[in-house]
């Protein structure tokens, strides 16, 4: 028997195909049933549940922290077409193009610039830290997404505290053993800055992507 696969063009229609949507819905049903009572408001649970769906790890329900109004602020910013600043190409690659097209959100990875490499080499800081420092007030009103670089998250927290730069939302979920936990604790302690984080060592680009996808869905559906 010869199997015929759809062409790339045919396979690029926006959204989930019916079979994929059924699997996702059943996955969410299973997560709801196994999680039971959780205490999250409905909007927050949508974010936490998508992270659990991405990882298969219910521990995230204990580790995730979502500041008051963070989901609303993030969804509103995305709906208005805000830029998404990411620390890695992995985040940009993971974000569904058809979701980004809903509101025309551009994904910027500042560390891609050759200039940031030179600045980092001269100043002795990491490339991602130098990259976000160079963005300055361009970060105002944006959605910042950090999945791998705790040094960048430390710098963003400093810029918010010392330079009064105000992103619409900071999603800070760097994974790792060096500075990751500390950077997320600093973000969570910030006052008057909408944020979503995962306490401890867990996190990463896949978590960051799941959170952004959930916010884009919230912006589209109003839920």
Domain region containing 215: 62-221
- Report yes or no: 47 and 70 within 8 Å, Cβ to Cβ: no
pLDDT at 150: 95
* SS3 state of residue 145: strand
Q: Is residue 152 part of a domain?
A: yes
Q: What pLDDT, on the 0 to 100 scale, is given for residue 1?
A: 36
- State how far the Cα of 116 lies from the Cα of 96, in Å rounded to an integer: 27
Q: What is the pLDDT, as a whole number, of residue 16? A: 64
User: Does some domain include residue 146?
Assistant: yes
Tokens of 165: 């730069």
pLDDT at 14: 57
In a domain, 165, yes or no: yes
The torsion of the CA quartet 125, 184, 174, 136, rounded to 10 degrees, works out to -50
Asked whether residue 34 is assigned to any structural domain, the reply reads no
Note the pLDDT of residue 19: 78
**Nearest Cα residue to 174 out of 193, 156, 201:** 201
Is 185 within a domain? yes
> Which alpha helices (DSSP H) does the chain contain, by range?
18-35, 42-55, 60-63, 70-79, 89-94, 97-103, 114-123, 127-135, 150-163, 180-189, 205-221
Looking at the structure of the chain, the number of domains it has is 1
Strand, helix or coil for residue 214? helix
Residue 175 in any domain: the answer is yes
pTM over the 0.85 mark:
yes
Q: Is 155 contained in some domain?
A: yes
In a domain, 41, yes or no: no
CATH of the domain at 206: 3.40.50.10230
| The one catalytic residue among 38, 53, 154, 213 | 53
User: Is 53 labeled as catalytic in the residue annotation?
Assistant: yes
CA angle, 90 then 94 then 168, to 5°: 85
Which residue, 199, 196, 163, 191, is CA-closest to 78? 196
Q: What is the pLDDT of residue 3?
A: 41
Burial of 222 (0-12, 13-18, 19+ CB in 10 A): exposed
pLDDT score at 12: 44
* Residues 31-49: tens digit of each pLDDT: 999 998 898 999 999 999 9
Structure confidence at residue 62 (pLDDT):
95
| pLDDT of res. 4 | 40
Pick out the chain residues at pLDDT < 50: 1-13
């Amino acid at each position: 028997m010869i199997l015929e696969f759809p062409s790339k063009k045919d396979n690029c229609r926006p959204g989930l195909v019916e079979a994929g949507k059924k699997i996702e819905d059943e996955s969410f049903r299973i997560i709801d049933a196994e999680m039971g009572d959780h205490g999250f408001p409905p909007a927050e649970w949508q974010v936490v549940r998508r992270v659990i769906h991405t990882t298969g790890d219910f521990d995230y329900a204990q580790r995730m922290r979502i500041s008051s109004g963070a989901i609303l602020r993030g969804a509103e910013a995305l709906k208005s077409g805000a830029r998404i600043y990411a620390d890695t190409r992995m985040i940009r690659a993971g974000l569904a193009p058809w979701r980004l097209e809903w509101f025309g959100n551009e994904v910027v990875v500042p560390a891609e610039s050759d200039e940031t490499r030179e600045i980092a080499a001269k100043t002795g800081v990491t490339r991602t830290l130098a990259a976000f420092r160079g963005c300055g007030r361009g970060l105002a009103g944006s959605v910042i997404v950090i999945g791998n670089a705790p040094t960048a998250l430390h710098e963003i927290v400093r810029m918010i505290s010392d330079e009064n730069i105000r992103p619409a939302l900071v999603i800070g979920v760097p994974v790792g053993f060096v500075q990751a936990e500390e950077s997320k604790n600093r973000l969570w302690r910030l006052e008057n800055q909408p944020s979503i984080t995962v306490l401890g060592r867990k996190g990463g680009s896949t978590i960051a992507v799941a959170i952004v996808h959930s916010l884009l869905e919230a912006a589209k559906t109003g839920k």
